[in-house]
């Protein structure tokens, strides 16, 4: 049987707070007012002191930042999106996580 995953969502632009989410819960901010330009995906986690924190993990805005850097010749290394030349399994790979 499939598991249904529901993501909390809003059409506004405000990021969720720790009181809005539970640990490991996802939230999506749609940003309808600006054609989704600032749309983001968030997850609640905990820091090293077990305090709840919200992390931005994706969305249209973050993808646009990556594409802008690539299109303007800044490459993806400045964004921390390139792995070293050897993977966790010890086998060589291309090094790039973004095509």
This prediction's pTM: 0.63
Q: Which of 5, 52, 2 is nearest to 27 (CA)?
A: 5
pLDDT tens for residues 58-78? 888 778 777 887 777 665 555
pLDDT tens for residues 12-55? 888 899 999 999 999 999 888 877 778 889 999 999 999 999 99
Say what the pLDDT of residue 79 is.
55
Over residues 74-86, mean pLDDT: 54
Q: CA 16 to CA 41: how far, in whole Å?
A: 10
In a domain, 84, yes or no: no
Say what the pLDDT of residue 30 is.
87
Q: Look at residue 96 and tell me whether its pLDDT is greater than 50.
A: no
In a domain, 93, yes or no: no
In a domain, 59, yes or no: yes
Structural domain span for residue 16: 8-79
Domain total of the chain: 1
């Amino acid at each position: 049987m499939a598991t249904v995953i529901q993501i909390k969502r809003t059409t506004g632009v405000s990021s969720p707070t720790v009181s809005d989410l539970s640990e490991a819960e996802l939230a999506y901010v749609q940003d309808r007012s600006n054609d989704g330009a600032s749309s983001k995906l968030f997850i609640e986690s905990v820091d090293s002191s077990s305090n709840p924190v919200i992390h931005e993990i994706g969305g249209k805005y973050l993808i646009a930042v990556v594409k802008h850097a690539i299109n303007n010749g800044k490459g993806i290394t400045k964004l921390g999106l390139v792995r070293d030349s050897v993977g966790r399994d010890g086998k060589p790979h291309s090094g790039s996580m973004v095509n």
